[in-house]
Amino acid sequence: MKPQKLTDYELQRLQNIRRNDEMMAALKLHSKATQLSNFKRQRVEAKSTRVKSEKKPKTETPIVIRVRRSLRTRGIPPDCEGLDRDSVAPTTPSKEKPLSVVSLGPLSMATARESAHSDSSFIESLMGMAQDVSVPKGNAGDSLELESLSLDSDNIARVVSGRITNVRFFPTSSVKMIAAGNKFGNIGFWNMGENEVHLYRPHNAPISGILIQPHCISKIYTSCYDGVLRLMDAEKEIFDLVFESDETIYALSQPPNETNCVYLAEGSGGLTMWDNRAGKRSSHWDLHDWRINTIDFNCQNPHIVATSSSDATACTWDLRCTNRNDLKALRTFTHKRSVQSAYFSPSGGSLATTSLDNTIGIYSGVNLEDTAVISHFNQTGRWLSTFRAKWGWDDKYLFIGNMNRGVDVVSAVQRKIVMTLESPHMSAIPCRFDINSYEVGMLVGATSGGQLYVWTSR
DNA sequence: GTCGGAGTTACTAAT
DNA sequence: ATTAGTCCACTCCGAC
């Protein structure tokens, strides 16, 4: 059915679709060489178990984009990988494998989409959210009562398949929306209000970062282990290619109030500043011996950043003191094993680290010299994302998953675990967390089975 | 010291 | 209900 009169928005959409189709056609020409290699499609269908709007999987043959890095860095011609895989896991002739397309540039959202239902209202709402003038809560006397936290069975959804590596609330009060990235390169968006999930696959390897900028929600950065940084642009309906590294990108961050630059954890210990206005890498420092797991800026002093690394340290740095390419750590916080996270508290006055040496470190005082060590079992093993203690809405509490399918609440004041959130509804271990800054008490835990559990206050 | 292999772990899908 | 498959983390340990 054709609408009699098209709105501006619909016209814009049609233009987008036409332009993106042309783009895809051009890309297909470039990918001739790689089309010789067949790959098995990884299973990516998200079963929205608890989401009311259950949808059938897409019927069209999806286009699978493979990791280019693995081929290039190993110097293996594309054909070989396919043969290699076949020899390891022989497949029956009846199982037809789709051709792969290597995307060298922007990827249209239509192509990346894996949920069957229309995403036009979702895309439209993203543009409507472009500006949020309200102020995040927290620190405003709106204190959290731990006892009031509960898990409603309606606040559970499977948004992606497999292991969630990254989860973020949208920084807005206008809608309750969560983005989650998994190890296959999917990004799932869950609109809690409409109870709808939109699934895309802009990447081909574990998602290492999702960055939703408060000043412009319609543009969302995503980073991936395959070295690619993309920018989802709802207006153009594409996942644009921003930057591509030869090395793995392990983390993604942005200082508060910054609009042009993003920071990437690159390779074994590198921190890269990407200037998106200039379209270039404007700085690069070798900060650690092994991979940087998190990058977190201080909200009070945006030039101060904390990094956590698998070299068993977390460090704070002053990015203003960037003579040449060497940077000296303001402070180094040592652990006995890999440090999985280092986050500044909401006020910026404290730092919390989580390490595989089974401790959580809390550092406070003017120079973070006041140290507290809290024992916490952090051996998640190979199949789960590692635990990362995450600050709540003030400097009082931290939230971290445990291996008994609970959420441990750490009091930074009492320096111990004061409570564990448990629910019969939580049937898997929550590994990664995010808080809704605009809603005190709204906490999301993400599992290695693709589910999100949203705890709320009252 | 560096490289590679083994062992660890939880969850899903298939039987 | 039980089991095979997962397999981009990390650590330990042995060989060189």
Report domain extents, chain A: 253-422
Q: DSSP code of A93? A: T
Burial level of A450, CB count in 10 A (0-12/13-18/19+)? buried
Provide the token pair at A323. Answer: 């003579």
Separation of alpha carbons A42 and A328, rounded Å: 43
Q: Which nucleotides of B are covered by protein (CB under 7 A)?
A: 7-13
Give the neighbor-by-neighbor strand order of the sheet with A406-411. A390-391, A397-402, A406-411, A416-421
Nearest nucleotide, CA A447 to C1': B11
By percentage, how much of chain A surpasses pLDDT 90?
Answer: 71
Nearest nucleotide, CA A163 to C1': B11
Per-residue pLDDT at A323: 66
Separation of CA A307 and C1' C13 in angstroms?
30
Non-local (6+) Cβ contacts of A270 within 8 A are A247, A284, A285, A286, A287, A292
Query: Contacts for A51-58 with beta carbons within 8 Å, 24 or more apart?
Result: A51/A157, A51/A158, A51/A190, A51/A195, A51/A196, A51/A197, A52/A195, A53/A117, A53/A194, A53/A195, A53/A196, A53/A197, A55/A115, A55/A116, A55/A117, A56/A116, A57/A114, A57/A116, A58/A113, A58/A114, A58/A115, A58/A116
Closest among A224, A218, A178, A219 to A201, alpha carbons compared: A224
Separation of alpha carbons A145 and A118, rounded Å: 39
pLDDT, tens digit, 9 for 90 and up, residues A241-283: 999 999 999 999 999 999 999 999 999 999 999 999 999 999 9
Which helix H or strand E contains A220, and what residues bound it?
A: strand A219-224
CATH topology (fold) of A253-422: Methylamine Dehydrogenase; Chain H (2.130.10)
State pTM to two decimals.
0.84
Provide the token pair at A368. Answer: 């973070």
CA A424 to each of CA A318, A405, A429: distance values in angstroms, whole numbers, following the listed order = 45, 9, 12
What is the secondary structure of A183-202 as a DSSP string? TTS-EEEEETTTTEEEEE--
Nearest nucleotide, CA A293 to C1': C9
What protein residues sit with their CB closer than 7 Å to strand C? A 67, 70, 89, 162, 183, 205-206, 225-226, 248, 291, 293, 310, 312, 337-338, 340, 356, 381-383, 386
Distance from the Cα of residue A433 to its chain's centroid:
11
Nearest nucleotide, CA A381 to C1': B9
Non-local (6+) Cβ contacts of A93 within 8 A are none
Asked if residues A398 and A392 have their Cβ atoms less than 8 Å apart, the reply is yes
Nearest nucleotide, CA A380 to C1': B9
Low-confidence ranges of chain A (pLDDT < 50): 1-3, 28-102, 140-141
Q: Which nucleotides of C are covered by protein (CB under 7 A)?
A: 6-11
pLDDT, tens digit, 9 for 90 and up, residues A7-37: 666 667 777 766 776 666 665 444 433 333 3
Asked if residues A3 and A10 have their Cβ atoms less than 8 Å apart, the reply is yes
What protein residues sit with their CB closer than 7 Å to strand B? A 43, 47, 161, 379-384, 403, 405, 427-429, 447-451
Provide the token pair at A105. Answer: 């540039």
Which helix H or strand E contains A107, and what residues bound it?
A: strand A107-108
Nearest nucleotide, CA A355 to C1': C10
Per-residue pLDDT at A12: 73
Residue at minimal CA–C1' distance from B12?
A: A449
Q: Which residue has the tokens 């180094």?
A: A332
Q: DSSP code of A48? A: -
Separation of CA A52 and C1' B3 in angstroms?
51
Which helix H or strand E contains A352, and what residues bound it?
A: strand A351-355
C-alpha dihedral over A414, A420, A421, A424, to 10 degrees? -170
Non-local (6+) Cβ contacts of A295 within 8 A are A251, A252, A253, A263, A264, A265, A271, A305, A306, A307
